[in-house]
Every structure is written in structure tokens, then in C-alpha cells.
Structure 1
Amino acid sequence: MVDISDDDLLAELGAAPEAKKQSARTPREERIIAGFEDIVRFHEEHGRVPQLGEERDIFERLCAVRLDRLRAQEDCRTLLQEFDRYGLLLTPAAADKDEEMDDDELLAELGIEPVSVVDLTELTHVKPRAEVRAAEEVANRTPCKNFEMYKPQFARVKDELEKAARETRRFGEDADVRQGEFFILGGQMAFVAALGEEFKTDYGRLDRRLRVVFDNGTESDLLLRSFQRALYKDDSGRRITDPNAGPLFGGAADEQDLASGTIYVLRSKSDHPDVAAYRDLIHKVGVTGGSVEARIAQATLDATYLLAEVEVVATYKLFNINRTRLENVLHRVLSPARLDLTIQDRFGNPVKPKEWYLVPLHVIDEVVARVKDGTIKAYEYDPTAAMLRPFA
């Protein structure tokens, strides 16, 4: 039977293929699409929609506010329909306002109280004791003269937060403050640039001056105890963790742990000769926050899965895991065994699928076990011996 292309088939039926119309988008539409793609990436990484709440970090809450606004506006829903592959816009909007939020409304949604304008009739030269205490805690912020030196650090930390290399944690779990650490105070990122000499207060307590630089280009010389108190009282106050701090995940689930996702190992049923020859050794290793079955439902249409059905050969449940970091670790260890294969997608374009490795299943088991006990950092995969080896 002679193969016939789609265009030839349409020609036989007397129907000309309709050319796809290209429409230029306005800058506003481009911003809306870019903002929605951030929300989609959050959903893919965390397996849920972003949510509001004081316990959430500032970036998730921003995504949550943005999603509510997109849901509430019909023109946005229409624009984003082709990008909404997870149905994120189908949930009813939390707000029922069509106009854009002003700054105070956005801060209110994020749980940050805006600074109120002082009434001109108020006697500001007579300060109540509460205002004096507040001034002592916040101290006077002044322009940071060498801010250009710190600006790249703030950009790097923000990028690492977005890539989940760092996390934000409620201040209070660890109330210690050290030089070189980053925090979120009053909705702004704060960097502890220097610690002054320790001294005793009038009450016999130990304290010291800090030099704290903020991401808006200001700095302050507040006291250590005042800084700790301000972070603790701020409902959105957060400590920003160091990159790769702490274990990736525990070996067993605790009662209060939240299931975060699954490591899945797949074997392809492709009839490609290079795959069929080593079918028992070729595995795809990935991490998902949702259902593995849902993830592979369209495998035969997706070049990522070699355009063929796949078999799930192993899964490992995760608890309280940073999935992006974990996936990076897995791919780093297995990279020497990455399958070098090029196939054609449904449109005849060459594609090099990633995340497929020529590695035995027992090695993958050992990799996961070493991730759990924290020893994986010292190992790499040796494809010639088909085993993990310590770094030389």
C-alpha cells in the first residue's frame, strides 16, 4: 500500500490545507504569556497550583495572585487557552474584579501590610513609645554606596530560588543570624554583609551591630536582636537556605510528611534497532510530582518517550523533596551512560531524547539508595564497569 501524505490526501478530497495564521502579539500579551509559563513551570515542579498563605514563600504567592487575576479575566483565558495544558485556568477565580490591582491590593493579597501615609494633622514630632521601639528595630536605612558589588549576589540568589537550588523557611525554626546569609524581611531580600563586635547592653544581654544590605539598594546598621525580632514578627519573614543545604529526602515517611512526587524508571517498547538490541539495559529515569501513568499516557505521540509505549519497571516515592534538585543529581550521576540516539518526531524533525541511559536497573537502585543516605555526592557511574565508583 502506497503511503500518502496529509496534503496529498486533502488534495484528493478537494480540500486545500489551511495555512496557520501568524498574528503579532502585543507587549502586554507577551507579558501575560510569560507570566503564565512561570505558573505552568511551578505546577510541573511541585505537582500543584501555587497557593496563597503566610507559610508560602513570596514567589509562590506572587504566582498565586497572578493565576487568580488571569482566571478572572476572559481575554486572558482566551489568550492562554493553547498554553493551558494542565487546565489551570478552569478553576473559578478567587477574585471577581476585572481591573488590575494597584500596589496596595497586591501587597494585601500577599499578606504584606502596606505603609500608610501619615496624616498631616498628626503630631509626628511627639513620638509614642511604640514608634520609638519600631524605629529601633528597623533602624534608618540609607543608600548603599557600593550596592553594585552586592547586586550580582541578589540576582544569583533569586535565580537559585527560581531553580529550587535554595528554599525559603519561616524564621524561628533557626533564629541564628550569621554573616553572609540571606533573608526576606518586609517583602525585600536582605543580606547580612557584616557583623560588628559583640557588646553587652544596659540589661546585661549580648548584642552586636549588623550591616544589612537590601535588594532595593539600601542598607541598615540595625542591632542583631532587633533584626531577629523584626524577622520573627514579620509573618512573611523568611530565611533563605544555602544551596544544597540538608538531605534531599528521608528514607521513610513521617506522619506529618507530605508526599512530593515519584522517581520513575521506564523501559521502552520501541522497535528501533538500537533500542531493541539493548532493551533490558536502556532506561529512562525521571521525577514527577503527579501520576506516572498520566505522565506516560501519550508516550506513543511524544519523542521524549521514543514515540513508543513504555513499561514502568520501578518507582520510588518521595517525601518533602526538592524534585528539581533530585532530578539534577540523578542526571549528573548517570550522564556518562546517556544514550546517544537520534530519532525523527511525528513531523520528520530529528530529535535527541534526553533522560535515557544505558544502565542496569540494579545500579539505579543503588543510586537512589545513596541519595537517601546522603553519600551520592562522592560517587559517579563508570559505564565500562557498569557500577558506581567513588570519585578518585
Structure 2
Amino acid sequence: MAVDRSERIQAFLDTLPDVKPRQLNRPAGVDEKLFQAFVEITAFFEKQGFEPRLDSIEFEEKSLATKLKSIRSRYGKNEQLRLIDTHGLLVAPDATKENETLEKNRSSSDVQEDTPPSTQPDVIIPDDDMDDAPGDISAFLSKLGDPQDSIFQLKHVKHSSEKSDAIDYVAQRVRCPNFHEFEPLFETANRQLEQGVREAIPFRKESEIEKGQFFILNGVMAYIAEVGEEFERNGKKNARMKVIFSNGTEGDNLKRSLATELYKDEHGRRITDPQTRGLFSSTPEEEDIGTGTIYVLKSQSEHPRISSIRNYLHKIGVTKGSVKTRIANAENDPTYLLADVKVVAEFKIYNVKASKIEKLLQAYFDKARADITIEDRFGKPVRSTEWFFVLPNTIKEAVDRLIDGSLGDTFYDPKQAKIRLFDQPKD
């Protein structure tokens, strides 16, 4: 009977579905080592029902507790890490009330400006002091000495209820209900960054924040969807904005506040506009600076492997000087297939490093790149990789799209030998 009962229990267990442990996916912008440490901490919490303790006699638990303490200090407000923090481990249980008090004090400042939840705290504890960093904010503040003598004491600060202008309140990020309308904009901007049509450069000044511009704040891309009417406060101009973030949230940030946060974030970036003024021009403006020339060449080689395809084969190159001088010794240069070449197109570059445009165009047509190896006059094989099976008018179209900002919406299809839109159906 005991055997029968065991078999019945096993049969019942076999009918139950397999329960696999929950898998966490690493959010973009979160370091792999940091992610793995947080996964271990989360797994411990889910198994034990409590977070790892520093006073534990178990080495593994104590190690995880030390990691958690460090993560809270350094990355407690990291928005990407919060996406996988389903148990609220980034906030210390005994620090919740202190955080609420800190937020209340921040909102009552006379020069108060909104701060996105993802930003780091104003007081940053150096890495070498991390082991001694208190987990309790009140304990940390108590080390600063008598409040009457503290340099952190706020004086002449009105309560928010005393303010006459209710527009100054702390902005909170909330879910963007129509994010589907903005998502394609982020996808396009990311493609353009990959292709080099846009660049992520250090943020420099508040005047760069305008409607339609992209920024990167704490690893999250931000799009300025709306800029409200400008107002003046304490002698400084400001404006309330609608900012959409690539993680599907939105905020009603103040312009000066966003600028402050971008300044504070050492990785804060402005994403350049793809429509660079004076990039290519036959009639440059007075202030334009010439940086070089992009040229398109056709080979005049009589080599059996080249002559049959040379009508379809073109080289995309760059020079800071004249093209004529650059190709003067082509017949002795492996780059030019050891033969004379014919110039079929030239594009003058202004205000932008010409080599960047060369790399961009070569990367764009990479799928049509010809990897050619021929022998020099000594029979030694030489290789050239800057030739492409692309016609000059197609290269001209890519240049035109680079100027009008639409290159990032397209790709080169070598099978159809033409430029196509990403969402364009095949013929």
C-alpha cells in the first residue's frame, strides 16, 4: 500500500506544470556586474523572504548585504535599475520617512526647481568612504554637528504654502498614455546615432533645450515635446515643458531644472540635430569653415578582374586638400587599385570633420562593399576595401538625405541597388 500511495503522489506531482524561476532581463545602460549583483540580492530576498543582513554570521548573506548597501548608496535612484526592482530593495526600509522629509524640504526651497526621480542625490559619498557610509540618512546628518552651526542649514526659506506662484512644484514622472506616438521618434534617433547622422555630445548650455530636441539624462533618452510660455522668477527666465522619456514615462519639467540635472550628470548628453547647416554647399556662408572634400571615383584599371565591373564599382574617399593632388599618383597606390581613376563626384564639407562623413557613408553602403585583392608589379597581393558596388546617383541621394535629415530613416538594399525606407514594402 505504501508503494501505491507513493506512486499516486508522484503521479499527481507529474501533472503539475513546471515552475521556472523568474528571469530578469538587464535593462539598457545597466552594467553587467551591477546587474548580476542585484539579481543575486533579489534571488536571496525571494527565497528567504527578507533582505540580506550585515550582522549575519553567514558569509554569503553578509556579502550580499554589503553589495546591497553599496548599490543603494550609488544607484538608489537609477531609473533603469528601478525597472527590475520589484521588491523595493533600492530603498532602505528605515530610510523611507527620511526620504519623504527630504523631498518635502526640496519642494519648499525658494529657488526650487524640479528634479526627475532618476537623478543622484546632491550629497555624494566618495567611493573610498562607502564602507563607512551610514544606511540611515538621519544618522548621516547628525554627524554634521549642531544644526545651528551647520553649513547645510536653510535660512529665509518660505514654506511652499507661502508661495504666491504655484507653478514651482516638483515634477514627477508618470506613465505616458500616448507613448506609442513618440516611440518611433526614439527609434529613429537611435538609428541615426548608430549611423552617425546624429551625435551624442556633452551638454553645454541651457539655450540648447528647445522643442523637438533629444537629450540623454542618467542613461535615459529624453525628448522635448512641448515648451510652455516663458515666465520670469527671481530675475531668471524659465518655462514649463512636457518631456517624454524613452522608458515610456513623461514629466512636466522646468527648463532650468532640466539644464541643472544635465549639468550634474557627468554622462549627460545633447543629441545633435541631423540637419547640420552648411554641411555640403557650393556657396558657403562667411562663417562656414571648410574641412575637406568627399570624392567619388571610377577606376580606369585594365586588370581582367576590374575592367568587367568598373562601371558599377566606385570609391568613396576624403581629402583635406584638392582631389586632383590626392589622386595624382593613383597608378602606384594600392588604394586606387594601382590604376588611374576618374572623378565622378565631389562634395565640399563645411563645419564638420570630413573623415566622419566619409566613415558614415562607407558604413551606410557597407553591404555593397567590394573586398578586392590584386597583385602589384612584384606579384605581391594588395588589398583595397574602400570600393563599393554603388552608382554615383545613389551616393548623391544619400548625401541629399544626409543634408535633409532623412538618411536615418533609410537603408541601402544591395539586391535592389537602391535606397529604401525602413517601413517601405519590397517591390
Same fold (TM over 0.5): no
Structure label with greater radius of gyration: 2
TM-score (ref. length: structure 1) = 0.42
